[in-house]
Structure 1
Amino acid sequence: MAIGNLYVIAAISVIGGGLFGFDISSMSAIIDTKVYKCYFNQGDVVINADGSESCQGPTSNTQGGITAAMAGGSWLGALVSGFLSDIFGRKHSIMIGSVIWCIGCILVCASQNIPMLIVGRIINGFSVGICSAQVPVYISEIAPPTKRGRLVGLQQWAITWGIMIMFYISYGCSFIRGTAAFRIPWGLQMIPAILLFIGMIFLPESPRWLARKDRWEECHAVLTLVHGKGDPDATFVQREFEEIKSMCEFERDNADVSFLELIKPNMINRTHVGIFTQIWSQLTGMNVMMYYIVYIFSMAGLEGNNVLVSSSIQYVINVVMTIPALIWLDRWGRRPTLLIGSTLMMTWMYANAGLMASHGKAAPPGGLNNTPAESWEIHGPASKAVIACTYLFVASYAITWGPASWVYPPELFPLRVRGKANALCTSFNWAFNFALGWFVPPAFENIKWQVYVLFGVFCTAMTVHVFFMFPETTGKTLEEVEAIFTNPHGIRYIGTPAWKTKNEYARGATIERVGFEDEKKVGGTVHTESA
């Protein structure tokens, strides 16, 4: 018996996002610990005054490669997920991803050297790429318009929970002697994947994917289960079914299905918007804060357990500040959320750059704590201001770009290419995650505080880009979003500028309440003919 409650469906499927969160903090909480540095050491061993040893650990370039290996695998997994999703369905693609994750965790947990660790993280990343691309598609195709942002945004919330839970597990295990300090948390990462696989067994398949495969009875049954409370004649069920049917008929008559479809004149604009949503979400610098927060706080004068405890505060902030977006993202709209978020993050990045430049100084040769990436130091009130700005940055991301960057891309594309399109968009997320994961440790080593200036410039550029090019999709059905980009004949639509598109939440909520037949009474228009 399949589960029909929307929130239960979302809660189970977004565990796939939690895998990404687990992977982030399984590295960030461990890279600065003695046992990790000494086991994977590539540098000098320093004998301290008390006779203990301090190891440099992997070089900055190697550590960047270890961290980026997961994102590299995710890039490939995201691209492949489009084909998997179209062939096997959204549900079974996510289940495949969970199995691959367990294989990667076994290799990472048993790592004997750096190459083995990298291979395991690549396999883990392949799994994350599949799940991160297809979970938003799956939820988008099941959720009604007024709940879509909230439910897809749960993916980001799951990521934040995964980061926080894994960080505290890793922190607790850091007190264990020997390699078990990192092998135990790396092995425990399998648990959420096992739960995800079991939970997905009881969830329905995407009704839109079923329709695409001409499994109309199953499509109608899923709509009845999820939206009709068991009533196949419910008004909203009938409306959704007819819109899906109209869209499928239009697509069969007017389009082929391939990645090449995404660069055709009638699709290139939304492809560019979806891709840059994912690119900009990485270029905010948020994952720098996630992966390498221990470096940043060490440079801000924190030492020992204070680094890990203070780092964990930002993970708690990340979880808590995502909640308002889950509740109100569909009311706020996508454009205001993205614009306000990038403006705030730009402010905190420039503030940190100014504080570092005016109150900091270069660290001794070899870096703080024998870590070359910790190449700058700042003390006193200015260091507390850096920590505060870092927390504010995380809060700004969590309530805006964090959930919105997962919600927005799947809304842009028609059914025929949605799986491949979101796979392509997500692959760019991972490509830039890979580049930044590798780039940041050497960047801290070589250009020091100017790293903050670089990300501040990125935040400035994305603010301008979003304002002029990103249309509002809130409150519209996935079929209605098509009308933003095409006219009834499928020709490219060049009309209302992005900054003049409107938030349709109020209309969508009323339509859901009073039904399709009464839509004219509330001033709405269903674009079934454009589908």
Structure 2
Amino acid sequence: MAIGNIYAIAAIAVIGGGLFGFDISSMSAIISTNSYKCYFNQGIAQINDNGEMECGGPTTNTQGGITAAMAGGSWLGALCSGYLSDMFGRKYSIMVGSVIWCIGCILVCASQNIAMLIVGRIINGISVGICSAQVPVYISEIAPPTKRGRLVGLQQWAITWGIMIMFYISYGCSFIKGTASFRIPWGLQMIPAILLFLGMMILPESPRWLARKDRWEECHAVLTLVHGNGNPDSSFVQREFEEIKSMCEFERQNADVSFMELIKPDMINRTHVGVFTQIWSQLTGMNILMYYITYLFAMAGLKGNNLLVSSSIQYVINVFMTIPALLWLDRWGRRPTLIVGAILMMTWMYTIAGLMATHGHAAPPGGLNGTPAESWEITGPPSKAVIACTYLFVASYAITWGPTSWVYPPELFPLRVRGKANALCTSFNWAFNFALGWFVPPAFENIKWQVYIVFGVFCTAMCIHVFFMFPETTGKTLEEVEAMFTDPSGIPYVGTPAWKSKNDFSRGAVIEQVGYEDEKKTGGTVQHSETA
């Protein structure tokens, strides 16, 4: 028997986000450990005063490639996920992703050399690409408008939980001698994928995907389960079923579904907005802090356990600062959240750069601790200010761009292209994640503190871009969002400028409340209708 509670459905589906989180912190916690550095060593190896071997680890280019391998696989997985999702359904594409993740984890855990590690991370990435693209689509096609931000935003919260849990597992395993210190965490990454696969078995398929496949009885049954509390004669279920049916018929008569449709005149604007939402989320520099935070904190004078424990604080901040966005993102609106987030993040990036330039100095040749990426050194109170700004940056991202970057793109597109469109948008996320993951270690080595100037400029640019080009979608049904880009006859047009678009949360909440009052009066199950 399938689960019908919308919060339970979202809670299980977003475990797919946890896979990405597990991968981020397993790498960030492990790359600074001596067992990892010595096993995959390409640099300096020497005996310290305690008689222990100390190694430089992989070169900066190689470490960038190891880290970026997952994002490269995710780019491929995200692109393929559109076809997979449209062919087999949102539910089964996510289940396929969980199986692929387990295969990748086996290879990573058993890695005998750098090449095997990279191949395993690429396979892991394919899984993350599939899940990260299709979980938001799956949830957005089920959730009501005034809860859509909260439910899809749970994906980001799952990512933050995955990051924090895996970091502490990796930290605990760092006290183990030998290769088990990194093989155990990499092996444990399979657990959430197994839970995701089993959990998805008891979830319903997207009713809108079922409608696209002319599986109308199943579509009606899912609507009854999720929105009708088991009552197939509910007025809401009947109304939504007819609206989905009408929309599917209209789309079949007016459009062929392919990636090429995303660059047609009636799609190109929303495609550009969705793609840049994902691009800018990477160019904030957040995931770089997640991957390479130990480099920054080592440059700020932290060592050993202090380095790892201090690094872990940002993961705790990430988890808890995402909660306000989950509760109030639908009330705040997408535009203000993105703009305020960009302003805050640019402030912290410029401040870190200024502190390092003013109070820091170049590290000895070869970098601190024999790690070339740790190429700058800052001590005393200014180093504490750098660490504080890092925490503030993480908090600013977690409450703004973190959840919103996953919520916003699926809202922009109609049913017929939603799977492929979100796959395309997410693929750009992973393409830039790949590029930045590879770029940052050599960048730290070569341009040092100026790396933070680069990301500060990106945050400035995204603030301006969002203000002028990103329309507000909060509180609108997916059909109403469609009407923002086309007139009733289907002809594309430029409607209200983005900076004049309004947050309709209050209107949507009133409509839903009326529906609940009708339910009490009639004994039915009337809710706010959301069309495809």
Report the TM-score when normalising by structure 2.
0.97
Aligned AA for 1:20? F
2:487 is paired with a residue whose SS is: coil
In structure 1, C-alpha distance between the alignment counterparts of 2:476 and 2:16, rounded to whole Å: 26
In structure 2, C-alpha distance between the alignment counterparts of 1:379 and 1:527, rounded to whole Å: 56
1:129 maps to 2:129: yes
In structure 2, C-alpha distance between the alignment counterparts of 1:378 and 1:44, rounded to whole Å: 23
482-491 or 509-518, larger mean C-alpha shift? 509-518
In structure 1, C-alpha distance between the alignment counterparts of 2:395 and 2:235, rounded to whole Å: 40
| Counterpart for residue 109 of structure 1 | 109
1:477 CA displacement:
1.1
2:141 is paired with a residue whose SS is: helix
1:480 CA displacement:
1.5
Aligned AA for 1:495? G
1:123 CA displacement:
0.2
In structure 1, C-alpha distance between the alignment counterparts of 2:293 and 2:223, rounded to whole Å: 44
| Counterpart for residue 188 of structure 1 | 188
1:53 CA displacement:
1.7
Aligned AA for 2:28? S
| Counterpart for residue 521 of structure 1 | none
Q: 1:527 to 1:23 in 2, by over 3 A?
A: closer
1:421 maps to 2:421: yes
- Please list every run of 5 or more consecutive structure 2 residues that lacks an aligned counterpart in the other structure: 519-527
1:527 CA displacement:
10
1:375 CA displacement:
0.2
Q: CA RMSD in A?
A: 1.4
1:526 CA displacement:
9.0
1:43 CA displacement:
1.2
Q: Is the 8 A contact 1:414 1:479 kept in 2?
A: yes
In structure 2, C-alpha distance between the alignment counterparts of 1:510 and 1:198, rounded to whole Å: 38
**1:104-152 CA distances to partner (integer Å, 9 max, x unpaired)?**
0000000000000000000000000000000000000011111100000
Q: 1:527 to 1:373 in 2, by over 3 A?
A: closer
| Counterpart for residue 210 of structure 2 | 210
1:253 CA displacement:
1.1
Aligned length, in residue pairs: 523
The residue correspondences of 1:61-100 to structure 2 (distance < 5 A) are: 61-100=61-100
Q: 1:496 to 1:526 in 2, by over 3 A?
A: farther
Q: Is the 8 A contact 2:361 2:378 kept in 1?
A: yes
- Please list every run of 5 or more consecutive structure 1 residues that lacks an aligned counterpart in the other structure: 519-524
| Counterpart for residue 170 of structure 1 | 170
Q: 1:158 to 1:29 in 2, by over 3 A?
A: same
The residue correspondences of 1:50-449 to structure 2 (distance < 5 A) are: 50-449=50-449
Aligned AA for 2:18? G
| Counterpart for residue 454 of structure 2 | 454
Q: Is the 8 A contact 1:247 1:479 kept in 2?
A: no
**1:359-418 CA distances to partner (integer Å, 9 max, x unpaired)?**
100000000011000000101110000000000000000000000000000000000000
Q: Is the 8 A contact 1:236 1:516 kept in 2?
A: no
1:490 CA displacement:
1.2
Aligned AA for 1:315? Y
In structure 2, C-alpha distance between the alignment counterparts of 1:212 and 1:516, rounded to whole Å: 29
In structure 2, C-alpha distance between the alignment counterparts of 1:43 and 1:149, rounded to whole Å: 46
In structure 1, C-alpha distance between the alignment counterparts of 2:136 and 2:284, rounded to whole Å: 21
| Counterpart for residue 524 of structure 2 | none
385-394 or 38-47, larger mean C-alpha shift? 38-47
In structure 1, C-alpha distance between the alignment counterparts of 2:228 and 2:474, rounded to whole Å: 22
| Counterpart for residue 525 of structure 2 | none
1:233 CA displacement:
2.8
1:244 CA displacement:
1.6
The residue correspondences of 1:30-69 to structure 2 (distance < 5 A) are: 30-69=30-69
Q: 1:527 to 1:174 in 2, by over 3 A?
A: closer
| Counterpart for residue 471 of structure 1 | 471
1:237 CA displacement:
2.3
99-108 or 494-503, larger mean C-alpha shift? 494-503
Aligned AA for 2:369? N
In structure 2, C-alpha distance between the alignment counterparts of 1:215 and 1:513, rounded to whole Å: 31
1:452 CA displacement:
0.3
Aligned AA for 1:216? W
1:243 CA displacement:
2.5
294-303 or 216-225, larger mean C-alpha shift? 216-225
In structure 2, C-alpha distance between the alignment counterparts of 1:402 and 1:314, rounded to whole Å: 14
Q: 1:513 to 1:241 in 2, by over 3 A?
A: farther
